[in-house]
């Protein structure tokens, strides 16, 4: 083939019969998009992969559990020949051609009458790229276009944003923000940023974007919640698109719902973008799975901003101490000894504990301890916020690794 000679077109397959011959990994990759397009998909194959079986079991496709036979393409609008047998694929393609039905031949694309482009979706756009059979090239170009659209370096003039977006920035590493979060950030007129939000992302913003510091420094200076709410509402009502950039997830001890309520009461539309919560993401980066088969069947995430004996505490520490699973304490460095003592009421003193300071950043530190030693270790290692405390058997699993990644 000299260059790309295909005619790129969008097919309306809704309600139309599409035949997929073969039930292997190629079919597994193609079926979800065919189903999403509303096609009446029929799979012809003696065997299928578990994923294809799941699509069939869900009622999204019909499986003819046998080899391909003459007549299987009758009344079909589109055909995919994707078996592992070249002779079967050739026969399917020949039969489809005889019936003037376009057919994709997966093993030798140039011998089919249609080809599948590298496809991607972005906010209502469906992108398709063909490169004359050079699959890696078409996939690379598709990925580049999607990345540029998502990070804002390629502008989609159709997109119009209004109101406020509550965006979870993840635990600190700028690469851990969601694709949607990064895209909305690139469209912001005003960014109201927490101290724990990925600060490197602010440096990427255009010069015209106003950045409002909404930092809450532990035991120090802090922007009031009233100030933050007013900033969000006033800017949005002035016609600006406001991104409230938070660390972790907006709804995990992030006061995100308080801000949503304030915006809703003022008639300001809000988009919520979940983030990777530090409660789970940071332990993972320190080789601590918050759950593990046969070790922990429950995870409890606790705010450590008040001590166990504080009248404001809403935590049943007696019940928590009797649980056998994982306890993750956020904002608990100052009162680590008090939390350890409360949990010690129902757990052994040698219960493993992992403390992860500034998780996901270049400054990440991990201290391995126990309930009995936690208070002393926090002082000895000069642990300071932000830090995550993980209590339970999972905190000791890293010692079983042949190497340590943290």
Active site residues: 194, 216
Which residues contact residue 321 at a Cβ distance below 8 angstroms, ignoring those fewer than 6 apart?
342, 343, 344, 345, 346, 347
CA 152 to chain centre: 18
Q: How many residues make up the chain in this entry?
A: 406
To the nearest 10 degrees (0 to 180), the angle between helices 225-237 and 256-265 is 40
CA atoms of 280 and 290, how far apart (whole Å): 7
Contacts 24+ apart (CB under 8 A), 255-259: 255/225, 256/166, 256/168, 258/225, 258/229, 259/164, 259/166, 259/228, 259/229, 259/232
* Structure-token pair, residue 205: 């913003």
CA atoms of 239 and 69, how far apart (whole Å): 62
* Structure-token pair, residue 75: 């009344």
To the nearest 10 degrees (0 to 180), the angle between helices 135-151 and 179-186 is 50
Element (H, E) at 50: helix 50-57
**Residue 21, SS3?**
strand
**Residue 203, SS3?**
helix
Nearest to 273 by CA among 155, 162, 177, 172: 177
Which residues contact residue 210 at a Cβ distance below 8 angstroms, ignoring those fewer than 6 apart?
189, 190, 191
CA atoms of 136 and 146, how far apart (whole Å): 15
């Amino acid at each position: 083939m000299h260059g790309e000679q295909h005619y790129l077109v969008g097919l309306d397959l809704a309600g139309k019969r599409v035949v997929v011959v073969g039930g292997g990994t190629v079919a597994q990759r193609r079926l979800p998009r065919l189903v999403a397009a509303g096609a009446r998909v029929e799979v012809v194959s003696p065997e299928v992969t578990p994923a294809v079986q799941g699509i069939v079991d869900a009622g999204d496709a019909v499986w003819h559990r046998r080899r391909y036979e003459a007549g299987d393409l009758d009344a079909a609008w589109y055909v995919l020949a994707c078996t592992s047998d070249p002779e079967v694929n050739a026969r399917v393609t020949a039969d489809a051609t005889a019936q003037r039905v376009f057919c994709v031949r997966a093993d030798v694309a140039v011998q089919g009458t249609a080809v599948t482009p590298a496809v991607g979706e972005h906010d209502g756009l469906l992108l398709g790229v063909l490169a004359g059979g050079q699959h890696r090239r078409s996939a690379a170009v598709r990925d580049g276009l999607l990345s540029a659209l998502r990070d804002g370096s390629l502008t989609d003039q159709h997109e119009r944003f209004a109101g406020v977006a509550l965006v979870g920035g993840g635990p600190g590493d700028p690469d851990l923000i969601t694709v949607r979060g990064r895209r909305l950030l690139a469209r912001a007129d005003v960014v109201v940023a927490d101290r724990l939000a990925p600060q490197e992302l602010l440096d990427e913003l255009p010069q015209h974007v106003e950045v409002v510091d909404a930092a809450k420094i532990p035991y120090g200076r802090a922007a009031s919640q009233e100030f933050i709410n007013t900033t969000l509402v006033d800017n949005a009502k002035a016609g600006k698109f406001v991104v409230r950039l938070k660390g972790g997830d907006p709804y995990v001890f992030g006061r995100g719902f308080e801000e949503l309520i304030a915006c809703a009461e003022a008639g300001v539309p809000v988009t919520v973008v979940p983030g990777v919560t530090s409660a789970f993401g940071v332990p993972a980066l320190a080789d601590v799975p918050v759950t593990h088969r046969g070790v922990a069947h429950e995870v409890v995430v606790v705010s450590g901003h008040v001590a166990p004996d504080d009248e404001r505490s809403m935590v049943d520490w007696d019940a928590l101490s009797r649980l056998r699973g994982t306890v993750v304490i956020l904002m608990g460095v100052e009162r680590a000894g008090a939390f350890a003592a409360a949990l010690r009421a129902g757990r052994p003193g040698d219960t493993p504990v992992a403390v992860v300071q500034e998780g996901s950043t270049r400054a990440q530190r991990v201290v391995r301890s126990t309930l009995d030693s936690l208070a002393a270790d926090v002082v000895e290692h000069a642990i300071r916020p932000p830090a995550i405390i993980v209590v339970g058997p999972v905190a000791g699993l890293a010692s079983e690794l042949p190497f340590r990644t943290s």
